[in-house]
């Protein structure tokens, strides 16, 4: 790691890392580690394929929803619930290659009711609001933690309204910001430890997790094990995608944190070359615009629209949900 990197370079590393992790992991999504070994040996090249039959260098909903969210934030100069829901709805209309069940349900609900927050559900602890949240970290990288968390909840609750999804995502966003600021790995470890202290279900030190589902808890257990167990951007990503399961999403989330931590120069050249250059260029211009917004002064998030929505702007007391 090179501590002289600027936060702008590290932010670009985060966005490239997200897209590359998504593209790399799409090949092994929903395979078991044993199936991966049989078909690919150690999977470490961006070759496309997988259950989506992707072209090499293409990305899935993780990166696409991030770009949709980022555009909405730039246009509105902050996270505005209506603009975010509308951007997600437009994205769904574009017939994306994949879309999660909870995401689809939230967007359908917005279309039929106009509400921009789904009701609280203990079952909505999927990773779908975390995988797309990077633009919030960039736009609110100079804002208070409270404003960062409020902005995240506004975008998250369009489809996912669950304290584990909120807390896990906010930990990831704070890790990205810490890494952008050049913090050491111990600082990121403390953030993960705080999440576990608040919500013990996230405990990740005991057992190696393989074949993670779309549950935010298993997703982050895999991400944290790789991030704190490996010592390069490449090793972190190769670790998570070879565990199979929701591999494009563990790849995307590990990629954003490791990309900020190790910086863009740590990304293997062969992975950058394999990517669709249009996607990388969108990631780059959006990174610039989101950081410009952060510097100019991002606006606070808007409340959710609708009768039974109501974004929870209070930090939820963790002990209520133990």
Site of interaction with Mn ion (CB under 5 A): 60-62, 98, 246, 248-249
Can you tell me which residue has the tokens 């002289």? 4
Q: What token pair was written down for 165?
A: 């999804």
Q: How far apart are CA 280 and CA 269, in angstroms?
A: 13
Ramachandran category for residue 118: left, alpha or beta (phi over 0 → left; psi -120 to 50 → alpha): beta
To Mn ion, the closest distance from the beta carbon of 104 in angstroms equals 13
**Closest CB to Mn ion among 131 and 289?**
131
3-state SS record for 36-74 = HHHHHCCCCCCCCECCCCECCCCCCHHHHHHHHHHHHHH
**Closest CB to Mn ion among 103 and 138?**
103
To Mn ion, the closest distance from the beta carbon of 117 in angstroms equals 23
Is residue 126 helix, strand or coil?
A: strand
**Closest CB to Mn ion among 59 and 305?**
59
According to DSSP, the residues that pair with 215 across neighbouring strands are: 126
To Mn ion, the closest distance from the beta carbon of 93 in angstroms equals 18
Q: How far apart are CA 52 and CA 60, in angstroms?
A: 9
Q: How far is CA 103 from the centre of its chain?
A: 14
Per DSSP, 264 falls in state: G
To Mn ion, the closest distance from the beta carbon of 67 in angstroms equals 13
Q: What is the CA radius of gyration of the chain?
A: 18
The answer to whether the beta carbons of residues 211 and 32 sit under 8 Å apart is: yes
**Closest CB to Mn ion among 21 and 182?**
21
**Closest CB to Mn ion among 54 and 289?**
54
**Closest CB to Mn ion among 71 and 246?**
246
**Closest CB to Mn ion among 23 and 304?**
23
**Closest CB to Mn ion among 60 and 115?**
60
Is residue 136 helix, strand or coil?
A: helix
To Mn ion, the closest distance from the beta carbon of 274 in angstroms equals 17
Task: Tell which residue, 137, 116, 201, 115, has the closest CA to residue 165.
Answer: 201
The answer to whether the beta carbons of residues 45 and 272 sit under 8 Å apart is: no
Q: What token pair was written down for 178?
A: 């810490």
Q: What token pair was written down for 98?
A: 């994949």
To Mn ion, the closest distance from the beta carbon of 65 in angstroms equals 9
To Mn ion, the closest distance from the beta carbon of 183 in angstroms equals 28
To Mn ion, the closest distance from the beta carbon of 152 in angstroms equals 19
Minimal CB distance residue for Mn ion: 60
**Closest CB to Mn ion among 28 and 141?**
28
The answer to whether the beta carbons of residues 259 and 220 sit under 8 Å apart is: no
To Mn ion, the closest distance from the beta carbon of 222 in angstroms equals 12
């Amino acid at each position: 790691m090179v501590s002289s990197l600027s936060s702008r370079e590290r932010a670009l590393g985060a966005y490239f890392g997200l897209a590359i992790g998504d593209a790399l992991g799409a090949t092994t999504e929903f395979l078991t580690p044993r199936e991966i070994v049989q078909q690919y040996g150690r999977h470490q090249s961006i070759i496309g394929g997988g259950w989506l039959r992707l072209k090499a260098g293409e990305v899935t909903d993780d990166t696409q929803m991030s770009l949709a969210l980022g555009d909405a934030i730039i246009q509105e100069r902050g996270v505005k619930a209506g603009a975010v829901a509308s951007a997600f709805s437009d994205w769904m209309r574009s017939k994306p290659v994949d879309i999660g069940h909870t995401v689809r349900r939230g967007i359908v609900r917005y279309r039929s009711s106009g509400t921009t927050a789904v009701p609280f559900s203990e079952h909505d602890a999927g990773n779908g609001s975390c995988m797309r949240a990077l633009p919030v970290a960039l736009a609110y990288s100079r804002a208070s933690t409270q404003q960062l968390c409020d902005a995240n909840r506004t975008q998250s609750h369009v489809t996912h309204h669950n304290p584990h999804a909120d807390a896990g995502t906010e930990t990831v966003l704070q890790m990205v910001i810490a890494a952008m600021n050049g913090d050491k790995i111990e600082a990121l470890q403390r953030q993960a430890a705080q999440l576990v202290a608040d919500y013990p279900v996230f405990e990740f030190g005991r057992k190696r997790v393989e074949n993670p589902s779309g549950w935010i808890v298993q997703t982050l257990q895999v991400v944290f094990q790789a991030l704190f167990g490996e010592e390069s951007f490449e090793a972190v990503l190769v670790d998570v995608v070879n565990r199979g399961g929701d591999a494009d999403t563990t790849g995307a989330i590990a990629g954003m944190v490791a990309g900020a931590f190790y910086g863009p120069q740590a990304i293997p050249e062969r992975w950058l070359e394999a990517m669709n250059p249009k996607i990388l260029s969108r990631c780059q211009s959006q990174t610039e615009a989101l950081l410009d917004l952060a510097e100019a002064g991002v606006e606070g998030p808007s409340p959710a629209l609708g009768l039974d929505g109501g974004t929870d702007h209070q930090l939820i007391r963790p002990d209520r949900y133990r």
